[in-house]
Amino acid sequence: MLSHTQKQWSVLSMNTVAFAANFAVWTMFSIIGIKIKQELNLSDTEFGILVATPILTGSITRLPLGIMTDRFGGRIVFFIHMLLVAIPTYGLAFASEYWQYLVIGLFVGLAGGSFAIGIAYTSAWFEKERQGTAMGIFGAGNAGAAITNLVAPMIVVALGWRAVPQIYSIAMVIMAIIFWFFTFNDPAHEERKKSGKHISLAAQLAPLKEIRVWRFGLYYYFVFGGFVALALWLPKYYVGEYELDLKTASFITMLFTLPSGVIRALGGWLSDKFGARSINWAVFWVSLICLFFVSYPQTTMIIHGIEGDVHFKVGLNIWVFTILVFLIGIAQGIGKASVYRIIHDYYPANMGSVGGMVGVLGGLGGFTLPIIFGIANDWIGVRSSCFMVLFAIVAICMILMNIAIRKLRKAEGLELDESVY
């Protein structure tokens, strides 16, 4: 008979691994999408729509999946969810037309909804003082994007890109079976079953009327949606901007996706120790500074001097660019944890619905941003325009956070203390 603590860590471990597997499936278009783009001769906008399509359903299903987790328990919902994801993933290997990839991609996107299940299931097992750490560890499953960056190119080279969804599908079924045997029904769900009392749907959705929830959603739109968008976009960016081959571009992208996923656990601990709001503010500042530099396009200037023309080249080489993107990923990884720690501080009894809604908004960032990146590329004609878009978003987040804190301090009748940022 396992102790409660042993069950806690078994559930957390399985949640994290299962989320990583789902995230790998959710982002596989970042690799196979490049091959599809070449086969179908797609524009950047069409490519952006292709890689973003799974992100759409992975986003909009987070709210209903979070509500279902609160109602039926995370164990059964997560198990069935993974089996359902495996079906369209396998079918993707047999598509041939652009519209077929889009339609099947919508169903594959269900994999992204796993976050809402796992975050609510994890939260139900841990006490308040350890919520940030536990949810941060679970969120490290974002590193599933790095799994795709590492594994998918090798599969493509060895077996062709159509083998990727087939292998991923089989792995998902195996993951679902392992998950079932090493997890348990959470105590809160068991208590509700015994008492026969269930939270009404109206009570679950009531907090969504508050503007604060939508502001948290905007924060998550940047830290999570921006992360997903860059995970999908960076391999193509490296291929186009620095003329790398796909395998090398994917490997370097892993230097962004892997640390950003793993560092989320540290972000949860930091939020528990120093306060999630302060951590969020620091995350935005680091992101703003780094995005300022990576937004600047490669530029050549000619100054007509007295003794002839003087040429200046302004731009980031691949190593400086990669370091700055790495720092952005670290900041986003920490921010993903701090946002959910804030949510638990305000809505501990509604992690499924509120966490699901914030997850929807964040996931929509992963859907809309690649499309916006593609449109910006086609319209402006500058590859770094994707970072210009992210710079604008984080600036808006900082302005709204500043206004919200000032209003909060004023309502409390306190002088503004800059340390709260």
The per-residue pLDDT for range 85-135, each reduced to its tens digit, is: 999 999 999 998 999 999 999 999 999 889 889 988 888 888 777 777 888
Q: What is the pLDDT of residues 334-391, one digit of tens each?
A: 998 888 888 877 777 676 678 778 888 888 888 889 889 888 888 888 888 999 999 9
Rounded distance between C-alpha atoms, residue 139 and residue 155, angstroms: 26
Sign, Cα dihedral of 248, 249, 253, 258: negative
> pLDDT tens for residues 278-313?
899 999 999 999 999 999 887 777 888 877 787 777
- At CA 95, angle to CA 90 and CA 97, rounded to 5? 160
- Is the pLDDT at 254 greater than 60? The verdict is yes
For residue 409, CA distances in Å to 277, 282, 345, 388, 416 come to: 13, 19, 17, 32, 6
d(CA 22, CA 108): 10
200 pLDDT band, cuts 50/70/90, is: low
CA distance 315 to 300: 9
Q: Assess whether pLDDT exceeds 70 at residue 253.
A: yes
Please work out, in degrees rounded to the nearest 5, the angle formed at the alpha carbon of residue 364 by the alpha carbons of 278 and 400. 35
- Residue 264 pLDDT more than 60? yes
Q: Spell out the domain ranges in the chain.
A: 4-188+206-412
Q: Pick from 100, 69, 104: which is nearest to 87 by CA?
A: 104
Phi first, then psi, for residue 356 (nearest 5°) are -65, -40
Q: How high does pLDDT run on average in the chain?
A: 85
Q: Write down the H helix ranges in 61-196.
A: 62-72, 74-91, 98-108, 114-123, 131-139, 144-159, 163-181, 187-195
- pLDDT for residue 203: 66
- What is the pLDDT at residue 321? 93
Predicted pLDDT at 180: 95
Residue 22: other Cβ atoms inside 10 A = 28
Residues 315-330 have a mean pLDDT of 91
Query: Cβ distance 271 to 133 under 8 Å?
Result: no
- For 31-62, the pLDDT digits (tens) are 888 889 888 998 888 888 898 889 888 888 88
Quick check: 416 pLDDT over 50? Answer: no
d(CA 85, CA 351): 23
Residue 70 has pLDDT above 50, yes or no: yes
Instruction: Give the per-residue pLDDT at 357.
Output: 81
Residue 302 phi/psi, 5-degree rounding, is -120, 120
Q: How far apart are the first and last CA of the chain?
A: 46
The model's pLDDT over 122-148, given as tens digits with 9 standing for 90+, comes to: 888 887 777 778 888 888 887 787 888
Distance between CA atoms of residues 362 and 224, nearest Å = 6
pLDDT at 192: 66
Shortest CA distance to 69 belongs to which of 182, 177, 185? 185
pLDDT of residue 419: 42
Give dist(CA 381, CA 368) in Å, integer. 19
Task: Give per-residue burial for 160-187: e unless 16+ CB within 10 Å, then b.
Answer: ebeebbbbbbebbbebbeebeeebbbbe
Share of the chain above pLDDT 70, in %: 92
Minimum mean pLDDT among 31-45, 186-200, 231-245: which range?
A: 186-200
Give, as one character, the DSSP assignment of residue 340.
H
Q: Could you tell me the two tokens for 240?
A: 């186009």
Average pLDDT over residues 255-263: 82
* Topology given in CATH for the domain delimited by 4-188+206-412: Growth Hormone; Chain: A; (1.20.1250)
Tell me, what amino acid is at 128?
K
The pLDDT score that the predictor gives to residue 240 is: 84
For residues 175 and 18, is the Cβ–Cβ distance under 8 A?
yes
Q: What are phi and psi of 304, to 5 degrees?
A: -85, 95
Tokens 């600036």 belong to: 395
Cα Rg for the chain, rounded, in angstroms? 22
Residue 97 is given by DSSP the state: S
Residue 325 pLDDT > 90, yes or no?
Answer: yes
